[in-house]
Every structure is written in structure tokens, then in C-alpha cells.
Amino acid sequence: MSEKIKCAIIGSGNIGTDLMMKLLRSEHLEVTALIGIDPESKGLKRAEAYGLTAISNGIEGLKENPELADVVYEATSAKAHMHNAPVLKSLGMKAVDLTPAAIGPFLVPAVNLREEEIPHMDNVNMVTCGGQATIPMVHAVSKVLDVDYAEIVASISSQSAGPGTRQNIDEFTETTAAAIKEVGGARDSKAIITLNPADPPILMRNTIHVQTAGDAESKSEEIMQSLDQMLTTVQGYVPGYRYKASPVIKGNVVTISVEVEGNGDFLPEYAGNLDIITSAAVRTGEVIAKSLASKGVAK
Amino acid sequence: MSQKIIINDVTLRDGMHAIRHQYSREQIAELTRLIDSSGSDIIEATHGDGLGGSSIQYGFSKEDEETIIKTAVENADHAKIAVLLLPGIGVIEDLERAHGFGAQVARVATHCTEADVSEQHIGKAAALGMDTVGFLMMSHRTTPENLLEEAKKMEAYGAQTIYVVDSAGALTMDDTRARIALFKEHLSDSTTIGFHGHNNLSLGVANSIAAIETGAQRIDASLAGMGAGAGNTATEQLAAVMNRMGIEHNLDLYKTMDAAENVMKPMMERPVQIDRLSLTLGYTGVYSSFLLFAERAGKEYGVDARDILTRIAEMGAVGGQEDWIIGVAQDLAQEKKVHS
């Protein structure tokens, strides 16, 4: 086992905290610091309790302590990351961006996380929770037939949607739709999100409608096989990812329904939307860590 | 009543659900002229699920958004044209385009407990100088007190009118009064209060009147009730009752009757009426546009559509979650097989 690569998290909200819990278990990454802007925030207090350095003056604090990280997770807002990204780059730190800023290329581990490409990327973007949950399935269909149009509907529990998501809901739909094309391989796309306040909270649920260029029904078997394979691949880093209903293939439309049960690391199991993006980010960071370790450039 | 009641016609928006979003340009033009000339003050024309709603999930519109809005704008002499926007489905860019097409009223809709997703959209609509409305859907799903808190958020974002929206046609008259009364008491005096009803429990007109009596000044209605589920408050019926009660408005009773009878009803694909399915919507409190989806899924999977709606209600589905219906139909079909 080679030495772990150091990483830090910017953002002390739901996503940052869930990331921290997962990174504490990583074999490739050592999470050293949580960076926020409010010294009184619960997230920073929790980080301290876990033995991390809690930085409360934002990116400035990281500039003052550059030895803390080679890899930095951004779990704030698109606006904050726009500001932070050049700073991280000048510090020589690799950014894994969980905001919709999309400065770096979109990355969905089950589809386009390639070890040979990672060393050339300074900044990668994890799309959105809805993108992580649905793009693999769009891509699975596109392996069999060209995809003219893909449309996804993500339902998440209100309890798991933080203020950042709520105030910038257009960013969610626009970023997800862009990545469905770019990573999923659809010619055209649309993304819809609904927040559901049911109590007990609902598990994150996604419906994926894929319109194929040719008749899908006659290729049912191949499509089902491709979907099943993709399901297994995603389960490799998100164990709670599963079909909610049997895929329906009619004419040139394939409809897939998946739900995501979270690991319960920070928010309870219903918040699979947190898990799927933080799990994808951890997986991505680990591949970056391996590439850094192999080059021996780490701090 | 000191002020005239403002009628916001929804024949060309909520009515879209009942016709699977398939109004043609000619139908939109004809209906707009009739609604406009019979005195409605505002005419909402959009896909049933608002801007950006045309999709596999909700059904594609026959005409594109530009055609729908522009046709309404061009055919209305007096009425202002409204568009609906559900954040999460439509985006701010859609609103800007609609404004460019001539829409003057923006109705920004959220589930009754999720008003904070509408801040940017309401802010934008107000900044564009549009008549900006906050539209709290499925108002029966939360208490009057909570609904007021959500209404205050929309008011703070810049909405000038806030609606109690009975998307499931599930409110009783006391439920309606309780919500409107709290709005009247605690929202700013300059904020207009609106009510959007559905007739699933046969209370469309009654709830609208209860709302007016408690302080609502803007009421949604449609010709012959054309709308999701058992339809909305029927314009001609509301006009007749308001006349009898001495409530002032701009509607011409005979013209609304004629438009409903001669044009609207013959256009309906499925009678917009209270039947066992639409009644179930109101009884269990399910979003009215789920009607046709549940009916189709029931046939396809050989299960009673009422069972689908009841299960959907138990799961707490909100507006926009039509995709849950197939999964429920599959589950019910499976349970049926196991038990037989």
C-alpha cells in the first residue's frame, strides 16, 4: 500500500460533510482539512471532532497552508468555485468540483473515468446528483443504438435539498441536460427535478426516458443486457443504486427507473442524491491520487 | 365587494392537460378570441406543466411554445397573456423568451412547501416588469399556517399576487376559507390573493366563492371547466353564481355559456367531468393531471386506476411526478398475480 495522498474539502454543508465521512474511509486519500467561512458552522465543528484541520476563512486559509492538500474537493456553489478554481490551479492542486460550475470536463465514473486521461486534468466536474444517477443509463442505451433524445426526471426528498440547490435550481437542470449530451451521448436532452416533502422522506428516484434513432423494441435483449451491465458498474461505487421498476421498451423509447439508497454516512439513507455524487467524487479522487502517487509528486 | 373580481382563464393551460397538450394553433386562436371577448381579464396559455413542460414525461405539445404564446397574444384584444413556470421544469431563460413573445403575467408555481425554489424566477419576472404571481400548488398538503409562511417567502421574492392552488381539487370550503383568511390577515395589504380550484369534489365554484368572500380577488376559471381531472372552476358557472350574489366582474354570462357549449365541449377528447377516477383524485388528494396517466396505466397493466391513484396518494407524490405511475401499476399488477 503506497502512501495516501492528502486532500481537503471546501464547503461545510451536507455534501462536504458526507464527503468527509466517506474520505475518512479511503485507502488512497487522507482528508486533512475542511474549509468553510463560518467558524460556528456545525460542519466545521464536526470536522474538528474527526481530527481534521478546520479552516474558517475560506480559500485564503488554504493558501496559507498549501501543504494540506494535493487534491481539493469543491462542495460550495458554482459562483464560489468560479472564484476558487484559478487559485487551486495556481497552488498546483487538482480540483474535483461538485458544484454546477463545470469549469473542467464532466466526469461520470461509470462512463468516462479513464486512468490514462486523469493525469492531464486539473479540474473535473461531477455534474449533478441527477446526472450521476442517470447518465450511465443513457450511455448504456447509446452503446446499442444512437440516442436522439434523452430526458431525465430526478425526484429527491425536500429534506436532502440544501439551500444551494434550492436557490439555483436552473443550474441543476441546465448542467444535467448539458452532460446528458456530452457524456451520455444523446443528441438532445432535457432534465427535470422535483422536490418531494413526504415524510418519511422518499429515496432519491430517477426516471430516464431515452428516444433511440432506430426501433428499440427489436433490440430489447441487447439493451437490457447493456443496462444490467451498467447497473453493476455503478453499484461498484454506489451500492444502493438499483432499478425501481422494470425497464420498459416500447417502439423507440426506453424508460428506465432507478432509485438510490444512500449509505447513511451523514444524512440518512433517503438522501441517495448526496451519496451518488459524493461516491462518484471519491472514486474520481482516488484515481487522481493513484496517478499522483505513481508520479511521486505528492506533498 | 369593493373591487371587481379578476378572472384568470386557464382553458389554454390547465385545459392542455385534458387534451394531452394537443390544441392546434387554430384552436388556440379561436379559444383566445372567445375567452377575450367574453370578458376574462387574463388568459394563461402554455403547456399544462408550464414553460419547458413539453416532454416525454408529461407529453409533447402539438404546437411549440412560441406558437402557443404568440397566437394567444395576437388574438387577445383586452386580456393580458399569462405563462406558467414550474422551477425544476422550466428555467429563467424560458421566462425571458415568453416575455419577448408578449406574455405580461408570470405565474411561478411550486409545491406548497417548496417556495424557496422560486426566488430567482419570481425575482426575474418582477424585474422584467411582469405581473408576477406566486402559485402554491397542492395547497391541501400543508396546514394553513405553513402555507402562509411559504406565501410570505414568495411575497418577499417580489410576487404581487399569491395563489392558494387546489391542484388536487381536495380542499373543502372550510379548508379554502382558512387558507385565504390567513393570507388576507398576514400578507401585505398591497398583495392580491388568488384561488385556483379543481372540481374533483364538485366544489370548484363553491370554493371560488368561499375564497372571494374571504378576500381573494383573482380567480382561475376555464370554459366548461376545461382542465385536469374533473376540470377547473367553470367560467360560465362562476359567472352565473357571481351574478346572483352581486359580485362584480367583467364576464359576459351568455358569451361564456355559448363559448363553453358551442366550442369548448365539442373540442374535448374525454369529457371533463366528475367520474369515479376524477372523484378519486379529489378524495385522495392527488395532482389532477395524473388522471389520464393513471387511466392509461390501469388499462395497460390490468389494474384498477383508482388503486393506482390511492397508492400514489399514500406515497405523497407531488405535481410533476407522473413517472411514478408506471412503477405503481407494475407493483399492483405483481401483487394481483401473487394473490390470485
Per-residue pLDDT, B179:
98
Instruction: Yes or no: say if A249 and A223 are a contact pair by the CB < 8 Å rule.
Output: yes
On the question of pLDDT at A14 being above 90, the answer is no
Per-residue pLDDT, A12:
92
On the question of pLDDT at B22 being above 50, the answer is yes
**Is residue A209 within 8 angstroms of chain B, CB to CB?**
yes
pLDDT band for A295, please (50, 70, 90 cuts): confident
Contact A194 B92 (CB under 8 A): no
CB atoms within 10 A of CB B270: 12
Q: For the segment B49-94, what is each residue's pLDDT rounded down to a tens digit? A: 999 999 999 999 999 999 999 999 999 999 999 999 999 999 999 9
pLDDT band for B299, please (50, 70, 90 cuts): very high
Q: For the segment A162-172, what is each residue's pLDDT rounded down to a tens digit? A: 888 898 899 99
**Is residue A207 within 8 angstroms of chain B, CB to CB?**
yes
Instruction: Yes or no: say if A139 and A184 are a contact pair by the CB < 8 Å rule.
Output: yes
Instruction: Yes or no: say if B191 and B131 are a contact pair by the CB < 8 Å rule.
Output: no
Spell out the domains of chain A, with CATH numbers in brackets. 5-126+276-295 (3.40.50.720), 129-270 (3.30.360.10)
**Is residue A252 within 8 angstroms of chain B, CB to CB?**
no
Q: Which of B72, B112, B108, B69 is nearest to B90 (CA)?
A: B108
Cell of A228: 444490467
On the question of pLDDT at B338 being above 90, the answer is no
pLDDT band for B114, please (50, 70, 90 cuts): very high
On the question of pLDDT at A32 being above 60, the answer is yes
Which amino acid, one-letter code, is at A252? N
pLDDT band for A3, please (50, 70, 90 cuts): confident
Per-residue pLDDT, A298:
65
User: Under CATH, what is the fold of the domain B6-267?
Assistant: TIM Barrel (3.20.20)
Q: Which of B220, B202, B208, B226 is nearest to B278 (CA)?
A: B202
* A151, A172, A194 member nearest B320 (Cβ): A194
- Give the CB-side neighbour count of residue A151, counting CA atoms within 13 A: 18
Q: What is the distance in angstroms between the CA of the first residue and the CA of the last residue of chain A?
A: 17
Q: Provide the percentage of residues in chain B whose pLDDT is more than 70.
A: 99
Residue of B nearest to A192 (CA): B89
Question: What's the pTM value of the predicted model, to 2 decimals?
Answer: 0.94
Per-residue pLDDT, B2:
59
Contact A153 B87 (CB under 8 A): no
**Is residue A193 within 8 angstroms of chain B, CB to CB?**
yes
pLDDT band for A87, please (50, 70, 90 cuts): very high
Contact B116 A167 (CB under 8 A): yes
**Is residue B116 within 8 angstroms of chain A, CB to CB?**
yes
Q: Which of B180, B60, B164, B50 is nearest to B105 (CA)?
A: B50
Domain residue limits, chain B: 6-267, 289-339
Per-residue pLDDT, B1:
44
C-beta contacts of A22-27 below 8 A and 24+ residues apart: A22/A263, A22/A265, A22/A278, A22/A279, A22/A282, A23/A73, A23/A282, A23/A285, A24/A50, A26/A282, A26/A285, A26/A286, A27/A1, A27/A286
Q: Which of A134, A132, A268 is nearest to A201 (CA)?
A: A268
Distance between CA B264 and CA B267 in Å, rounded? 5
User: Which of A:161-180 have CB within 8 Å of B?
Assistant: 163, 166-170, 172-174
Q: A129 an active-site residue?
A: yes
* A149, A195, A207 member nearest B117 (Cβ): A195
Domain B289-339 has CATH 3.40.50.2000: no
Distance from CA of A255 to the nearest CA of B (A): 10
Residues B243-272 have a mean pLDDT of: 97
Question: How many pairs of residues across A and B have Cβ atoms under 8 Å apart?
Answer: 93
Distance between CA B327 and CA B198 in Å, rounded? 26
Q: Which of A296, A281, A291 is nearest to A72 (CA)?
A: A281
Instruction: Yes or no: say if B7 and B250 are a contact pair by the CB < 8 Å rule.
Output: yes
Q: Are strands A253-260 and A204-212 parallel, antiparallel or unpaired?
A: antiparallel
Q: Which of B247, B180, B235, B234 is nearest to B202 (CA)?
A: B234
Contact A173 B317 (CB under 8 A): no
Mean pLDDT of the residues in chain A: 94
Distance from CA of B5 to the nearest CA of A (A): 33
Per-residue pLDDT, A1:
47
Per-residue pLDDT, A267:
82
Domains B6-267 and B289-339 share a fold: no
* Partners of residue B321 in chain A, C-beta under 8 Å: 153, 155, 194, 196
Per-residue pLDDT, A296:
72
Q: Are strands A147-157 and A204-212 parallel, antiparallel or unpaired?
A: antiparallel
Instruction: Yes or no: say if B219 and B192 are a contact pair by the CB < 8 Å rule.
Output: no
Q: For the segment A146-202, what is each residue's pLDDT rounded down to a tens digit? A: 999 999 999 999 998 888 889 889 999 999 999 999 999 999 999 999 999 998 899
Distance between CA A126 and CA A129 in Å, rounded? 8
Distance from CA of A196 to the nearest CA of B (A): 6
**Triad B333, B339, B340: Cα angle to 5°:** 90
List the catalytic residue out of A44, A52, A129, A231.
Answer: A129
Q: Is the ipTM of this complex over 0.85?
A: yes
- Give the CB-side neighbour count of residue B16, counting CA atoms within 13 A: 30
What is the DSSP-derived secondary structure letter of residue A52? P
Distance from CA of B130 to the nearest CA of A (A): 20
Per-residue pLDDT, A163:
84
Most A-contacting residue of B95, B290, B324, B330 (CB-CB within 10 A), to test interface: B324
Per-residue pLDDT, A299:
66
Contact A205 B317 (CB under 8 A): no
Query: Residue B288: left (phi > 0), alpha (psi -120 to 50), or beta?
Result: alpha
**Is residue B215 within 8 angstroms of chain A, CB to CB?**
no
